[in-house]
Amino acid sequence: MANNFCVIMAGGVGSRFWPLSRTARPKQFLDILGTGKTFIQQAYERFQEIVPKENYLVVTNALYKDLVKTQLPELKDEQILLEPLRRNTAPCLAYAANKIALTDPDANIIITPSDHFILKEEEFKKQIRNGLEFVSEKPALLTLGIKPCRPETGYGYIQVKRKKEFKDLDNLYKVKTFTEKPNEEMAKIFIESGEFYWNSGIFISSLSTMLESLQQHLTEIALKFEHGRKLLNTASEEPFIRKTYSECQAISIDYGIMEKAKNVYVLTADFGWSDLGTWSSLYENKEKDVQGNVIRADNVMLYDTENCIVDISKNKMAVIQGLDGFIIAERNDTLMICRREDEDQIKKFVTDVRIQKGDSLV
C-alpha cells in the first residue's frame, strides 16, 4: 500500500452540465447527486483503503486551488498541482508522474477523473486492487472497462482481444482497439458483438511503465517535464510549469498513449459506474416519478409533462406544462430549456453565451 499513489484529475469546467456547472465552480466541486459529498470528495474517499493520504495528488486548474483546499483539507499544498492552462489529460499525467518520481520511483499509480459515480464501491475497490497487483508485476498499462447496458453514444468504447492469464483473474483482457463516442447505430453493433466495453477513463500502471510510455508516444511532452523535474518542489516549480504548459499540445491520455501502446490491458467489471458528465447521465441514474420525470427541486408543479429532468433552485417556483423529454435547469441568473436528445448542443450554448453575454454567466 505504501507504494500506491492516486492522481485525481480535477481541472475540467464541466460545460455539459451548465448552468449548474460554471467556470467558477465546476461540477467536480458540486454535490449534484444530493449525497452530502461533492464528486471530488467521493473520488478521494473511494481510494482511502488503498492509497495513503500522503500519496494523493490532485491536478486542477489554478483557479480551483482554494476549492480543493476547502473540500479536501487533508491535502497539503504540495499535493495540489496547479495547471495554468487547460491542456487535456496527457500533460496533467506527465506533471503528476514526474512529481511522484521524486518521491517514490517504485510507485504504482491510479489515474482517475474526479467526477464519476460508482454504485458498487466494494466491487470497484476489488478491481482496483487486482489491477495494482497486475501492474506491479507486469510492464502494462491497464484500464477498467464497464460492461455496457445500453447503446450509449456519450462514452468511449474498448474492444477486447484475448484473455490474459494472470493468477486467478478471469476478467483481464488484451485491448484490441479504442473507439471514441460512436453514433447510435455503431454503438448497437458494438453491444451486439459482445467484444466492447465502456471506457471508464481510469488508468493503472507502474510509474516506470507510465514514464516509458510517455517517452515513447509523447516524446516532446515527456522531455519537457523530465528536463525540469529537478525544479519541482522548489520555488521554481510555478514558473517552470507555466512555461511548459504554454508549450505543450492539448492531448488526452487516450489519444496520446493508450491508442498507440502495445501493452494495454483492460479489467472488465460491473460496479455501477457512470461518467456523470451530462444531464442525460444524471437522468439515467436518478429515481423517476410515474411520468418518468426526475425532479430536483422543492417548488415545481408539472402538468402533462413526462420524461423530463427538472432542476430548479430552492428559492424559485416553477410551473411546467406540456413538455416531453426536456431538460429544464435553472441556477441563479440562468434558465436553460433544452430537448434531452439535443443536449450535445449545450457546449454550443455556453460558447454563444460567453461571446454574446460575457464570461460571468458561464
| pLDDT surpasses 80 at 304 | yes
Instruction: Tell me what the pLDDT averaged over the chain comes to.
Output: 93
| Residue 272 banded pLDDT, cuts 50, 70, 90 | confident
Which pLDDT score, from 0 to 100, does residue 353 have?
A: 94
* Residues 6, 81 contacting (CB under 8 angstroms): no
Cell of 94: 506527465
Which pLDDT score, from 0 to 100, does residue 332 have?
A: 80
Which pLDDT score, from 0 to 100, does residue 197 have?
A: 92
Which pLDDT score, from 0 to 100, does residue 112 have?
A: 97
**Residues of the chain with pLDDT > 90: what percent?**
77
Give the pLDDT mean for 158-175. Answer: 92
| pLDDT surpasses 80 at 1 | no
Residue range 38-56, pLDDT digits in tens: 999 999 999 999 999 999 9
Across 63-72, 229-238, 272-281, least confident range? 272-281
| pLDDT surpasses 80 at 163 | yes
Give the pLDDT mean for 261-267. Answer: 96
Cell of 18: 451548465
Which pLDDT score, from 0 to 100, does residue 356 have?
A: 96
| pLDDT surpasses 80 at 276 | no
C-alpha–C-alpha distance, residues 65 and 48, integer Å: 21
Q: What phi-psi label fits residue 228: left (phi over 0), alpha (psi between -120 and 50 degrees) or beta?
A: alpha
CA distances in angstroms from 91 to 162, 193, 261, 271, 284, listed in the order given: 31, 35, 17, 29, 32
Residue the block writes with cell 459506474? 273
CA distances in angstroms from 189 to 84, 159, 183, 284, listed in the order given: 41, 12, 10, 21
Which pLDDT score, from 0 to 100, does residue 315 have?
A: 87
User: For the chain, which domains are there?
Assistant: 4-274 (3.90.550.10), 283-357 (no CATH)
Which pLDDT score, from 0 to 100, does residue 86 have?
A: 93
Give the pLDDT mean for 62-88. Answer: 96
Give the pLDDT mean for 84-88. Answer: 94
| pLDDT surpasses 90 at 349 | yes
| pLDDT surpasses 80 at 249 | yes
Which pLDDT score, from 0 to 100, does residue 126 have?
A: 95
The 10 Å Cβ neighbour count of residue 261 is: 16
Residue the block writes with cell 454563444? 352
| Residue 274 banded pLDDT, cuts 50, 70, 90 | confident
C-alpha–C-alpha distance, residues 308 and 297, integer Å: 13
* Residues 202, 89 contacting (CB under 8 angstroms): no
| pLDDT surpasses 90 at 149 | no
Give the pLDDT mean for 351-361. Answer: 92
- Residues linked to residue 267 through DSSP beta bridges, in sequence order: 144, 172
Which pLDDT score, from 0 to 100, does residue 344 have?
A: 86
Measured N-to-C along each axis, helices 89-103 and 207-217 cross at an angle, to the nearest 10 degrees, of 140
Residue range 305-331, pLDDT digits in tens: 999 999 999 889 999 999 999 999 998
| pLDDT surpasses 90 at 182 | no
Residue range 101-148, pLDDT digits in tens: 999 999 999 999 998 888 889 999 999 999 999 999 999 999 999 988
Which pLDDT score, from 0 to 100, does residue 194 have?
A: 85
Give the pLDDT mean for 74-85. Answer: 96
Q: What phi-psi label fits residue 57: left (phi over 0), alpha (psi between -120 and 50 degrees) or beta?
A: beta
DSSP code, position 25: B
